[in-house]
Structure 1
Amino acid sequence: MKFLQAIFRTVFYVVVGGVISIAGAAFFFMNWEPDRDEFPKRGIDVSHHLGEIDWNKVSADDVAFVYMKASEGGDFKDSAFVQNWAGAGAAGLARGAYHYFSLCKPGQEQAENFLSVLPDDPQMLAPVLDLEFTGNCTKRPPVDEVLQEISDFVTLVERSAGKQVIFYAPEEFFRTYLKGQGLNRRLWTRSIWHSPSYTKDWILWQYQDSGTIEGISGNVDMNVLNADLTIDELRS
């Protein structure tokens, strides 16, 4: 009997220890962030999926800048963009807009959609073109076709906004369509829980997709600005 009790105790401690270890690891990964001394400028990106946002609370929670979704594809406009833009501005946050690029729509059509909602604000951050496979259409066009559509988008947006477009590109999209193509645009990388390894030339780094910020309900994408840059340089 004592032998069985000892076995049960051992199993119990092993199970409890495992649960604690898993919980500890989950807590670590959910709260990990780059060194604040090395990367002092922290920012977020948002869309209508996050619901109503208390921007005064956000600005008080060590957030220096925000990018918000403005549009997607050829005709979708984010329903929260106007409200988010006004709220972030009133709270004193540096703010910018991004367009989610569809592989199934012409670049010019998408640029026109983006520009139809992009504010005429010389102080806004440089516009971002979100290039990724997640949530995109199933079409995977050849490289030269995608690059042409991206080029059409960039030409029209840069001419209108007077600022150089930044590419948000996770590793899979970067390696499939952008690497070695000489597009000469600044890059926003995505590398969760570790520093970006697929390129050294980045200005923004999305390091977390389940962050917590005061004033926002739900998981928030967290980003840092390259330590060599300032917010003002992000406006150019």
Structure 2
Amino acid sequence: MIKAAAVLAGVGAIGVLSWHGATGWAPSTERYPLQGVDLGAEAGPVEWGMVRARGADFAYVVATSGADRRDPAFEAHWAALPDAGLRRGAIHLYSLCQPARAQANAFNAFVPRTDDALPAAVDVSFRADCTARPDRATLIADLEGFIRTVEAHTQKPLLLRVARGVEREYDITAAIRRPVWTVANMVRSDYAARPWRMWRASDFRRVEGIEGPVNWDVVAP
């Protein structure tokens, strides 16, 4: 019994060490010098100065979702990021259930155009609150209209963040030639039709200054 308990304790210790190693992991800064975070919708308070001190160069924050939802914390985060020495970018969570033009107008009305801002990003994922699955031609045309409208406001090319499942079904990155942002934990994500410009390498990293797991991203060198 004593021996069995010791073995179980050892296994538990290895598991704890492995978990701490995973939550502290990030891609090498020698290979990827520019690294940062992206916040999900309705993220809590953030100590941005501390996040900067832990190696983040930039932060993307969700601004809008669909045609009718504004993230209540966006404006505070947007204002705080430059003072913390972090570059800032805004994200729109695209809805397959709402008109693309209305979504673009909602984003443009809420997110200010500033010279220091990084290119805005549109996230295309399957979401629990929307079961619509338009045909590929319709979705591509709608996204192209969304992109044109937002780019007319921001004056910068949009980043296209496409989830693996959406890309598998719609092959969006082959049709829309914009910088690609892919998502895959710890393993280089090469599922897009073109090389990625940004990669979310972890959605469980722990960083001082943010409560809970963090989305950690790197920029292609």
Alignment TM class, shorter chain as reference: over 0.9
Work out whether 1:217 is the aligned partner of 2:194. no
1:33-92 superposed Cα distances (whole Å, 9 cap, x missing partner): 211211121110124533122222222221101111110001100101111000002222
Q: How far apart are 1:165 and its partner, in Å?
A: 0.8
Work out whether 1:31 is the aligned partner of 2:24. yes
Work out whether 1:182 is the aligned partner of 2:175. yes
Separation in 1, partners of 2:91, 2:149: 15
Separation in 1, partners of 2:173, 2:76: 39
Q: How far apart are 1:129 and its partner, in Å?
A: 0.3
Q: Bigger CA drift: 101-110 or 22-31?
A: 22-31
**Structure 2 alignment gaps of length 5 or more:** none
Q: Bigger CA drift: 218-227 or 56-65?
A: 56-65
> What does residue 158 of structure 1 align with?
151
* Higher radius of gyration, 1 or 2: 1
The secondary structure found in structure 2 opposite 1:97 is strand
The secondary structure found in structure 2 opposite 1:139 is coil
Closer/same/farther in 2, CA of residues 56 and 49 from structure 1, 3 Å limit: same
Separation in 2, partners of 1:134, 1:208: 20
> What does residue 74 of structure 1 align with?
67
Work out whether 1:19 is the aligned partner of 2:5. no
Q: Bigger CA drift: 29-38 or 64-73?
A: 29-38
1:103-146 superposed Cα distances (whole Å, 9 cap, x missing partner): 10011010001001111212210010011114451222221121
Do the aligned residues in 2 keep the contact of 1:42 with 1:222 (CA within 8 Å)?
yes
Equivalent pairs counted in the alignment come to 220
Q: Which amino acid aligns with 2:68?
A: D
Do the aligned residues in 2 keep the contact of 1:55 with 1:91 (CA within 8 Å)?
yes
Separation in 2, partners of 1:181, 1:64: 29
> What does residue 55 of structure 1 align with?
48
Do the aligned residues in 2 keep the contact of 1:50 with 1:217 (CA within 8 Å)?
no
Separation in 1, partners of 2:123, 2:150: 14
> What does residue 95 of structure 2 align with?
102
Work out whether 1:201 is the aligned partner of 2:200. no
Do the aligned residues in 2 keep the contact of 1:71 with 1:98 (CA within 8 Å)?
yes
Separation in 2, partners of 1:179, 1:47: 22
With the length of structure 2 as denominator, give the TM-score of the two structures: 0.92
Q: Bigger CA drift: 169-178 or 81-90?
A: 169-178
What is the alpha-carbon root mean square deviation over aligned residues? Answer: 1.7
> What does residue 172 of structure 1 align with?
165
The secondary structure found in structure 1 opposite 2:42 is helix
Separation in 2, partners of 1:183, 1:95: 24
The secondary structure found in structure 1 opposite 2:22 is helix
**Structure 1 alignment gaps of length 5 or more:** 1-7, 228-236
Do the aligned residues in 2 keep the contact of 1:46 with 1:68 (CA within 8 Å)?
yes
Q: Percent identity?
A: 28
Q: Which amino acid aligns with 1:159?
A: A
Q: Which amino acid aligns with 1:71?
A: T
Closer/same/farther in 2, CA of residues 215 and 43 from structure 1, 3 Å limit: same
Separation in 1, partners of 2:82, 2:179: 24
Pick from 120, 141, 145 the counterpart of residue 113 of structure 2: 120
